[in-house]
Amino acid sequence: MMRKRYAVVGTGGRSGMFIRAITSTYAESAELVGLCDLSQTRMDWYNEQLAEQVDYPPVPTY
């Protein structure tokens, strides 16, 4: 089965539930391929959290 690829635009408060769903709950059918936000700090934080919590490789940031 081909996994759907997702990029999350905006890494504010609500984005966490989408990122968790993509990288954990639906990991078999979904793939996080990028983060986009004005704040590089927030995108870096999410990449760090993904590495620590679900052993997910860093995704490109835009």
Query: In this structure, is residue 32 part of a structural domain?
Result: yes
Query: In this structure, is residue 10 part of a structural domain?
Result: yes
Q: Consecutive 10-residue runs of the chain (62 residues): their mean pLDDT? A: 95 96 97 98 97 96 98
- Residue 29 CA to residue 6 CA, distance in Å, equals 11
- What domain range includes position 19? 4-54
Task: Report the predicted TM-score, pTM, of the whole model to 2 decimal places.
Answer: 0.91
Residues 6+ apart with CB under 8 A from 52: none
Tokens at 46, concatenated: 């999410």
Specify the number of domains making up the chain.
1
Query: In this structure, is residue 35 part of a structural domain?
Result: yes
* Cα angle: 9, vertex 57, 3; to 5 degrees: 65
Query: In this structure, is residue 60 part of a structural domain?
Result: no
Query: In this structure, is residue 59 part of a structural domain?
Result: no
Query: In this structure, is residue 36 part of a structural domain?
Result: yes
